[in-house]
Amino acid sequence: MITITDKEFKQLAAYIKAHYGIYLKNEKQALVIGRLQHVLMDRNFHSFSEYYEYLISDKTGNAAAILINKISTNHTFFMREADHFDFFRDKVLPFLKNTVLDKDLRIWSAGCSSGEEPYTLAMILDEYLGWDKNQWDARVLATDISSIVLDKATKGIYKTEDVLSLPPYWRHSYIKKLDGETSVISDKIKNDVIFRQFNLMNNPFPFKKKFHVIFCRNVMIYFDAQTKRELINKFYDSIEYGGYLFIGHSESLNHEESKFRYIMPAVYRKEYLNGR
Ligand SMILES: C[S@@+](CC[C@H](N)C(=O)[O-])C[C@H]1O[C@@H](n2cnc3c(N)ncnc32)[C@H](O)[C@@H]1O
């Protein structure tokens, strides 16, 4: 088993924080060894120093891609923090339906992992807009840094037991059983979600238009306070006035940290300048 020295850990942790925002405290040494052990063994490296040299000299991007696939924590599930979806359907969508006059809805699931969150948003949109949907551009942008989870998300195949938490009407309308054990998201819903690889540390964000809603849930728990503050500011600049930011329930913002107004646990709004 390969071990890691304090110096090697600090070096690698600094690289990961600088490139991906993910902050690894000293206590995470065992996690880093566990997740990267096989990567080092496959390449015949005998130490983390050797691995680090390879990582920083690799110009293909492969080493960095493997690293982030191993280091990111991608745990997610359908209907996670479900009160957010109720609020999105009952308050946010009626507001947007009345105010977005060009019918171009811009909704972003940032840190979407294997797709459960953006597919849920697409199902809500489909059900809510109903027959009117063809008049709207209501596709959801879904991004993540990890190529492995994005591959899974794009396929839209899940264990049947994992989709059981979805309401029966959605299971019936938007999900097909492949066999007893696996189910697939219908093409109709798949076509409403655009998956892209994107690093939230990119500065500035490249989007031409602002979003009406951003979901960035359970992503910033892995960032330190300053990285989180900077990201929140980028989100603020990327949201329309009146738009909403949803974060994870364990990631609340304090008032000094941002210009967003608190609406309910883990939901914030970019207020109109006139306070509407
Ligand atoms: C725990 S999952 C959250 C999934 C979903 N939003 C939810 O709440 O269930 C966190 C995701 O954030 C992604 N992530 C971490 N750092 C990132 C970064 N710098 N840029 C983009 N995505 C990142 C990870 O790859 C991971 O899939």
Q: Specify the amino acid at residue 97.
A: K
Give me ligand 1 centre to Cα 22, in Å: 10
Residues 134-158 as b/e (b if ≥16 CB within 10 A, e otherwise) read: eebebbbbbbbbbebbbebbeebeb
How high is the pLDDT of residue 256? 73
Q: For residue 273, give the 3-state DSSP assignment.
A: coil
How high is the pLDDT of residue 232? 96
Kind of pairing between the strands at 211-216 and 239-247: parallel
Distances (CA, A) of 240 to 112, 134, 185, 198: 21, 23, 30, 21
The separation between the first and the last C-alpha atoms of the chain, rounded to the nearest angstrom, is 60
- Long-range Cβ contact pairs of 258-261 (< 8 A, separation 24 or more): 258/229, 258/232, 258/233, 260/232, 260/236
CA proximity to 121, closest of 181, 194, 176:
194
For residue 53, give the DSSP letter. Answer: H
Pocket of ligand 1 (CB under 6 A): 20-22, 72-76, 80, 111-113, 117, 144-146, 149, 199-201, 217-219, 222, 248
Q: Which atom of ligand 1 is nearest to the CA of 149?
A: 27
Under a CB-based contact definition with an 8 Å cutoff, are residues 92 and 244 in contact?
yes
Instruction: List the chain pLDDT tens, one digit each, 276 residues.
Output: 899 999 999 999 999 999 999 999 999 999 999 999 999 999 999 999 999 999 999 999 999 999 999 999 999 999 999 999 999 999 999 999 999 999 999 999 999 999 999 999 999 999 999 999 999 999 999 999 999 999 999 999 999 999 999 999 999 999 999 988 999 999 999 999 999 999 999 999 999 999 999 999 999 999 999 999 999 999 999 999 999 999 999 998 887 778 999 999 999 999 987 755
Give me ligand 1 centre to Cα 220, in Å: 8
How high is the pLDDT of residue 276? 57
Give me ligand 1 centre to Cα 134, in Å: 31
CA proximity to 146, closest of 17, 46, 20:
20
Under a CB-based contact definition with an 8 Å cutoff, are residues 82 and 121 in contact?
no
Kind of pairing between the strands at 107-110 and 211-216: parallel
Rounded Cα distance, 139 and 30, in Å: 40
Tokens of 213: 């809603």
Rounded Cα distance, 212 and 144, in Å: 19
